[in-house]
Structure formats: structure tokens, C-alpha cells
């Protein structure tokens, strides 16, 4: 018998030798230990709810939203409230709607969990344009960036459902991406914001049978974006950006716009949680001095985007044809020159 086979046989006989009682005792022990070690999901939720910041959150039953002065949120444009959601736009053309928090965020470390739904009648690539989640200095503005102003100051997270750029063949839409605006940086709608994005991922969140969520976590200058759109009840990492500096005092918001193409864009909830993080006095000082959002090393996020410039293959062929053309020109010149010399010689004799 070969050695591995012999080992296997030995192991099997060992298992058979163990009394059934001991095996079940071992299994029972395992179960007890795992139950003790791992807190249940309910415990985890209760623990989290303690840190839920209601003043910054948008949750059912959306009391007073849209008409009461005591509400902590404002509606804008086509946005409307139903018992189940805040509909930013209906599945109709040329609509813009938004919902904005009235209270500037003073938390330095936080988590935002967005429960959203994008759905409509349009078939593949005949729907749009998506929605955006904001944490910006400005609020309640109209504009071309998913129904909000361009050149915003702060954070924008886009759930882009329509590929505007024909150079985006390498990614599948809906595509979720993050951008940090400093008041001058432009979001380029025609290129789906690709030149200014800091990270992102595909998230098949449209007409999904599952509940769709995204989670933004900001702590110690690190921004993480996670998505849960596959009904697996687990977070998938979408973007992780370090060295991102965001001042406090900005407003949470959500906006959406439809153009020729449309969809229902709904926000079910936006829950803000406080994260407790210890800081050094130096870090405190740095945070206080920060006035404009920025990323420490912008270069690391620059993506290679094919634009008007030539690709490597195009460049090679251009070079090849230029060289061939030049050779041809030289040959023609030589031929003309030789003929001219011959003619001149004939004239002399």
C-alpha cells in the first residue's frame, strides 16, 4: 500500500474506533463554543442602534418631511414622500429631485448606511441616469450632476445606471463611484465622471429582487465604500481611499435626475452612526485647520482613460506608416534626381 493511502486507511479506522458518544460530545462542544464566541446578529444590531444618530438620519416614518419646519430634512424638485420611501424621481423623463439634511454634520468618524431602490420599465441601457449620495458644504442646489450642482465641495457617491461614455466598455453598469470635490473640480457627465473618480465598482442594483444597500465609512481620513446588492447580506468592498481629508459641517443629501431615459429612484433610509475613535492632539489640530477637502496623494487614483489621445497600437501603426511613407518619398526623390542627372548628361553629349 502506498504511504498516503495507508495514512488515510489509518485515519478512517481511528474514526471508526471512536465511540459515537465521544463524537457527538465533541460536536456539541464545538457548537457551544461557537455560540459563546460569536455574538448573534440581533446583539450586533442592538449594539449598532445605540450609535445611530437620529438627527442626521432619514428613517421611516419620515415625520413632517417636506412640509414641517421641525423636520430635519428638506425635499426638492420632484422628490415626494410615501409611507415606504422617498421617491427622488418617478419613472418619467426630465425629472430632478433631492432630499437634504438641515443639520451640518459635526461627527468626525461616522458610518452612513443607505437603503435605496432603483427600478423602472426601461429595458437594458434604456433607463437612467442613477442617483447620488452627498456630504457637501452646499445643499439644495439644482444642477447637472445627478440633479445636484457641479463643482461641489465635499463627497459625492454616484450610483450611475447609464453608460454615457462609449469608452466605458471595460466596466459594467450600474457602476458605483466616489468623488471628492473641492469647489473647482468638475464631474464630467459625458465620461461618467471617470477622470475624477477615486474608486468604484460594478453593483447590479437596478430592478433587483434583493434589497440594495451601500455603506460609507469614514474614520481617520480613510473612506471605505461597501455595497450589498446581491441579497447575500454581506458587505462587498467597493472602494478604499486613504488620506482623504473632509472638513466637518457638511450636509448629507441624496439626489437624482432623469433625462431622455428614466427610472424610479427611491431612498428608503439613510442611517448615520457615530464611530468612536481616539485621536492624538496633533490629529485634532490638523482636523481643525482643514477648510477644503483634499486627498493627500491624488496621483494614486488617476486612472488611465482612453480619450482623444492615441493608444499604443495606434501609435505603433502611425509610426510604421510614417516611416514607410518617408522611405517612399526618398525613393521617389532619388528616382527623379537620377532621371534629371541622366537628362543633363544627355544634353552635354
In the complex with Ca ion, the residue whose CB is nearer, 89 or 224, is: 89
Candidate segments 19-27, 53-61, 188-196, 251-259, binder of Ca ion by CB under 5 A: 188-196
Grid cell, residue 91, equals 419613472
User: What region does 97 belong to: left with phi over 0, alpha with psi -120 to 50, or beta?
Assistant: beta
Restricted to residues 255-314, the positions that interact with Ca ion (CB under 5 A) are none
Torsion angle, alpha carbons of 200, 202, 207, 209, to 10? -100
d(CA 7, CA 5): 5
Told to check if 164 binds Ca ion by CB under 5 A, we report yes
Told to check if 160 binds Ca ion by CB under 5 A, we report yes
Told to check if 162 binds Ca ion by CB under 5 A, we report yes
d(CA 57, CA 157): 17
Residue showing cell 450632476: 145
Question: If residue 11 lies in a helix (H) or strand (E), which one and from where to where?
Answer: helix 3-17
Told to check if 197 binds Ca ion by CB under 5 A, we report no
Rounded least distance, CB 311 to Ca ion, Å: 23
Residue showing cell 429612484: 265
In the complex with Ca ion, the residue whose CB is nearer, 77 or 130, is: 130
Rounded least distance, CB 160 to Ca ion, Å: 4
d(CA 131, CA 146): 6
Q: What length is written for the chain?
A: 349
Rounded least distance, CB 224 to Ca ion, Å: 23
Rounded least distance, CB 194 to Ca ion, Å: 10
Rounded least distance, CB 303 to Ca ion, Å: 16
Candidate segments 106-114, 185-193, 297-305, 309-317, binder of Ca ion by CB under 5 A: 185-193
Candidate segments 50-58, 142-150, 160-168, 277-285, binder of Ca ion by CB under 5 A: 160-168
Told to check if 192 binds Ca ion by CB under 5 A, we report yes
d(CA 186, CA 198): 13
Told to check if 175 binds Ca ion by CB under 5 A, we report no
d(CA 160, CA 138): 21
**Distance spanning both ends of the chain, measured CA to CA:** 103
In the complex with Ca ion, the residue whose CB is nearer, 164 or 262, is: 164
In the complex with Ca ion, the residue whose CB is nearer, 93 or 285, is: 93
Candidate segments 94-102, 159-167, 248-256, 333-341, binder of Ca ion by CB under 5 A: 159-167
In the complex with Ca ion, the residue whose CB is nearer, 146 or 252, is: 146
> What angle is formed at CA 39 by the lines to CA 34 and CA 44, rounded to 5 degrees?
155
d(CA 113, CA 132): 14
- Which residues in this chain contact Ca ion in the complex, by CB under 5 A? 160, 162, 164, 192
Amino acid at each position: 500500500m502506498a504511504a498516503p493511502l495507508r495514512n488515510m486507511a489509518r485515519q478512517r479506522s481511528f474514526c471508526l474506533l471512536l465511540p459515537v458518544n465521544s463524537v457527538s460530545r465533541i460536536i456539541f462542544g464545538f457548537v457551544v463554543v461557537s455560540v459563546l464566541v460569536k455574538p448573534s446578529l440581533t446583539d450586533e444590531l442592538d449594539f449598532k442602534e445605540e450609535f445611530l444618530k437620529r438627527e442626521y438620519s432619514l428613517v421611516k416614518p419620515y415625520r413632517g418631511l417636506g412640509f414641517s419646519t421641525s423636520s430635519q430634512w428638506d425635499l426638492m424638485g420632484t422628490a415626494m414622500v410615501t409611507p415606504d420611501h422617498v421617491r427622488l424621481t418617478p419613472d418619467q423623463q426630465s425629472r430632478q429631485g433631492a432630499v437634504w439634511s438641515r443639520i451640518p454634520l459635526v461627527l468626525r468618524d461616522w458610518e452612513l448606511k443607505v437603503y435605496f431602490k432603483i427600478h423602472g420599465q426601461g429595458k437594458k441601457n434604456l433607463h437612467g441616469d442613477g442617483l447620488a449620495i452627498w456630504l457637501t458644504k452646499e445643499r439644495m442646489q439644482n444642477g447637472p450632476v445627478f440633479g445636484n450642482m457641479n463643482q461641489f465641495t465635499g463627497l459625492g457617491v454616484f450610483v450611475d445606471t447609464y453608460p454615457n461614455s462609449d469608452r466605458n466598455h471595460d466596466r459594467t453598469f450600474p457602476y458605483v463611484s466616489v468623488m471628492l470635490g473641492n469647489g473647482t473640480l468638475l464631474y464630467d457627465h459625458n465620461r461618467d465622471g471617470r477622470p475624477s473618480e477615486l474608486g468604484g465598482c460594478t453593483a447590479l442594483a437596478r430592478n433587483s429582487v434583493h434589497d440594495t444597500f451601500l455603506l460609507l465609512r469614514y474614520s481617520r481620513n480613510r473612506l471605505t465604500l461597501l455595497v450589498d446588492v446581491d441579497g447575500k447580506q454581506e458587505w462587498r468592498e467597493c472602494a478604499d481611499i486613504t488620506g482623504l481629508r473632509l472638513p466637518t459641517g457638511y450636509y448629507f443629501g441624496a439626489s437624482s435626475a432623469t433625462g431622455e431615459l428614466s427610472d424610479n429612484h427611491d431612498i428608503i433610509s439613510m442611517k448615520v452612526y457615530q464611530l468612536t475613535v481616539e485621536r492624538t492632539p496633533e490629529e485634532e489640530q490638523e482636523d481643525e485647520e482643514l477648510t477644503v477637502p483634499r486627498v493627500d496623494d491624488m496621483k494614486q487614483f488617476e486612472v488611465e482613460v482612453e480619450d482623444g489621445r492615441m493608444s499604443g497600437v495606434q501609435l505603433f501603426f502611425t509610426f510604421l506608416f510614417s516611416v514607410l511613407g518617408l522611405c517612399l518619398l526618398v525613393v521617389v526623390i532619388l528616382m527623379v534626381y537620377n532621371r534629371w542627372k541622366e537628362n543633363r548628361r544627355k544634353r552635354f553629349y
